[in-house]
Amino acid sequence: MIRYSIFTGCLLLFAIHSFSQQESVQSDKQFGSKLPVTYLRFNNDTNLVQFAILSDRTGGMVPGIFEDAVKKANQLQPQFVMSVGDLINGYSTDSVLIDTQWKEFNQLLEPLTVPFFYVSGNHDISNSWMQQEWIRRYGQSHYYFIYRNTLFLCLNSQDNGSYGMSESQISYFRTILQEHQNVRWTFVFMHQPMWTSDKSGFEKIEDALEGRKFTIFAGHTHNYLLSKRNNQKYYILATSGGGSERRGEQFGEFDHITWVTLKDTEEPIVAHIKLDGIIDENIVTEEIAQKIRPLKSGSWMQPIAYRHSANNTTEITPTIHLKNTNQTPLSISGHLPNSQHFKSIPERIDTILAPGESINYSFKIQHKTKPAFKLMDLPPIEIELQASQELDNRTYSLPSKKRLYVDWPYSLAVNEMIRLDHPEQVIEDWDWSGTEDLDLRFTLREDDNYLHLKYFIKDDNFIFQAGDYQDQLLIYLEDKNQEKLLLTIYPDPKQTKNFKFTTLDGHQVKIKPLISCKLNNGELTVTVKLPKKVFLKADGTYRLNVGYMDQDDPTSTEAAILFWKPKWDSKENYPGSGTWAK
């Protein structure tokens, strides 16, 4: 009997002993011959066999998944693609219906630029007529081929429309195995995992496989399982679109492509690639990046800094600016701030912005039990909302979380103590772990001639050294003409010339502050006295901000910088923040 393998010439078996070897490579010799590489044994085995396997498509089919698997398998560019059956819905003798299903399936394969090997399942050969239809379309319902001295057996586990293998099929594969005993590896493909039943006939194939290296792949159960029998690996694959609860890979329920690599001297390497783990190169183009930029940056939502006329109030009415810069509707939803003692009215927002639309959305914050409260008792208010948008036939959805700045005139009369436990801005915030890392409190008072500022600082590691990479106290002040100034203090108690006083653009000013720094029991106290007449505005107010550069590592060029109010030359700055009045 003469048999023809599927690959032309594959029956002309020959062995090419080719191991990965060190190759001659060309490189820049300007810096010598050594390259920064572990070794030059490239993965260039000429006997390499590398193929993909697509699992069950039907049996509770979810549309679109198998199509995605085909596309992504082709992106991986295997040498060829195998299957394990259940390619169509089947279970019919209606020739028009079955013809439609096969045409539909074959259209799904059109993106493939490598060979696809059909293996039949119970949905593909549900009865004897469907087996004859298979043979008419594709040739044998069971077959073999040899590629690079590797034997591939494709079994029909639904022979003549009934579970199991016929005697003629068993005899066929026995002969094939007898004739090709010197192949380096044997792969076996089937739909139903016939080794789980004693009446399938597959036990006779297992007997014939004895003594050789082989790996078996099946599908059907829609649940992944790896077993070991006869000291070899038996795989039941999950799905490539077939019905499943899809509760995750830890439960064996996932859609995937199986990737198999066989090298000349090793056993196969098998990996299962989840479909959502293969990403097309066009996932983010410049055009898409521009459209999704507002979602990524959160610029579609911006709380407007709320400034109240006094510390005491019955409620505040903050505003959020919402905008849609794209040409499709933007859905916005989420709960408004709620804490142990404070509530928002309404409790949540649900709105849709038309293309190009922007709105100011206002809501109220009240105390849950008291008719009035002090703003200084408010916890930090963070607003977190979700935005969703359809862009280029894909749904994009991201949350945005932003701080609502609440400000009021601080009182000089009561000598308020301000603590930077919730700074409104932190630069290099990953370098600050909270008040146990750096704790800063300060007060401001006045007399007839001077402003008196006093700072109490606890740091887990004070760094005092030459240069800019040391702890720094930053005091921003606005003079009576609204010129913004920066007093930088290097609070080392041992330094005498420990400050610089400049405009924000770096020009030195002639104001000479009186500064004292003392370190006692781990707490640094810094007192600053400034001429009142320079900073007192016509309305009787002062404006200042406080920052601290916490240099925890003397060798680092990065450090966390905490600001009581947003830095005055930053985009987060808002008018009037840090104003003090009598």
Interval 127-174: pLDDT, tens: 999 999 999 999 999 999 999 999 999 999 999 999 999 999 999 999
Instruction: Please report the pLDDT score of residue 29 as a whole number.
Output: 63
Mean pLDDT of 385-399: 93
Highest mean pLDDT among 17-21, 44-48, 195-199, 218-222: 218-222
Instruction: Please report the pLDDT score of residue 84 as a whole number.
Output: 98
Residue with tokens 């009035």: 372
Q: Alpha-carbon distance 559 to 430, whole Å?
A: 9
- Report phi then psi at 97, rounded to 5: -65, -45
Interval 400-420: pLDDT, tens: 999 999 999 998 777 789 999
8 A C-beta contact, residue 468 and residue 566? no
Give the chain's length: 582
pLDDT at 9 over 60: no
The whole-model pTM stands at: 0.71
Residue 346 preceded by cis peptide, ω within 30 = yes
Partners of 83 in the beta sheet?
54
Q: Which residue has the higher pLDDT, 175 or 28?
A: 175
Per-residue confidence band for 1, with pLDDT thresholds at 50, 70 and 90: very low
Domains of the chain: 50-277 (3.60.21.10), 286-406 (2.60.40.10), 410-581 (2.60.40.1190)
Instruction: Please report the pLDDT score of residue 12 as a whole number.
Output: 34
- Computed over every residue of the chain, the mean pLDDT equals 92
Q: Alpha-carbon distance 31 to 29, whole Å?
A: 5
pLDDT at 197 over 50: yes
Which structure tokens are listed for 223? 């649940």
Per-residue confidence band for 21, with pLDDT thresholds at 50, 70 and 90: low
pLDDT at 35 over 90: no
Mean pLDDT of 255-270: 92
| Percentage of the residues of the chain whose pLDDT score is greater than 90 | 83
Give the closest residue to 424 by CA, choosing from 454, 455, 384, 380.
380
